Structure 1
Amino acid sequence: MIKGIIFDLDGTLVNSIEDIADSMNQVLSERLFPTHDYETYKTFVGRGVKKLVENSIPANSRDDKTLSECFRRMMEIYDTNCILKTSLYPGIAELLSTLNSKGIKLSIFSNKANELTQKVVKHLFADWKFEKTIGSGDEIPRKPNPKGALFLSNEMNINPDELIFVGDSGVDMETANKAGMHAVGVLWGFRDMEELLENGAQTILNHPMELLKSFD
């Protein structure tokens, strides 16, 4: 029996790609590096900001000093821009309201740095109850390490096999399976069905409200 849900944030609950891309493109432009379009950034995100920066910078410029400086600059810019264009995907508000009304426990686990995760959630999700929200940091390693998911399982007082883990990427599906949770992939985010299935998605959603079938 499913008793709770852990959601990924970017690409699952919110469409944040424009704020991420605009911020990183500013970093690249300041260094006269080539910039990228939004679709390309969808392939860069999912493993944290450091990996995003590495993916975005030209291969021949990825020395430690440049990566470190670009990461610091990206964090500065994105901290200011992270809620400019970011918004909930269609159907998410209705889904969360329904889940709250049913008393289903909800949490969020993002690979975004914890302070940025908290800022986005505070701004966009004040109308709904979440048991816990965590991003990556010193104590919580990035997905697909399952430590964060298992931490939330403990905080929610729900066994891992009674939890759904919802995400848009192979990293999310891998995390769910490593944690012993039901892996649910969504198709409105940044990755495609093939990636989700290859990494162990047990259920695929085309629309947020389809998640309610798990509680019928």
Structure 2
Amino acid sequence: MNKRLFAIGDIHGCFDSLKELVENKIQLQKSDNLILLGDYIDRGDKSKEVIDFIMELQKKGFNIIPLMGNHEAMLLDALEAEKDISKWIQNGGDKTLKSFEINSLKDVESKYIDFFKGLRCYFAFENFLFVHAGFNDNVLNPFTDYYSMLWKCKESYANPLLANKTIIHGHNLISISKCEDRVLSKLDVINIDTGCVYNDKEGFGRLTAYDCNNQRILFV
């Protein structure tokens, strides 16, 4: 029997949706693989709970592969250089500080910083490629351009290294109906960032998982 394989899009502190999706919709088993596409923090109210939940699942022996999102990268930049703090704060970092009940990034426990620093930029599994945003189509080896993986999305790719791959990504908002259309059309590039933190926007406000084996989406 094939192992079940899932990916979940941008979470942005939406802990309740994440818990519901993992425990009740997916009903995650230890034999499953779950790839998380980054952006766990910022904008939503429960960034710390999201990270704690992911770390706890890993500790319990679930196969969780968390990828780096641009928001985790911005946090790490802000930690390294004071000049980058305001950019992170403007992009929802203030909500993350509040969730951790701290006033400065310097007060984040080291285990969380280690978690952020340990995130990989992409994951390849069989004919799937998982990435937060996308790839640079114009370089010989798209797996060397980390900036593009965090910030740049495309709807199709021509690079031979990306041929015959199904690319699952987040980063750019897409409505739940457009997401479903792309899945039903069996396109090579599937965006599953359905804007869970934007529940005041029509057609958004969902946290979405892609069930790779059955080519379908589950959402909360």
Report the TM range for the smaller structure's normalisation. 0.3 to 0.5
Higher helix residue share: 1
Tell me the TM-score normalised to structure 2 length: 0.32
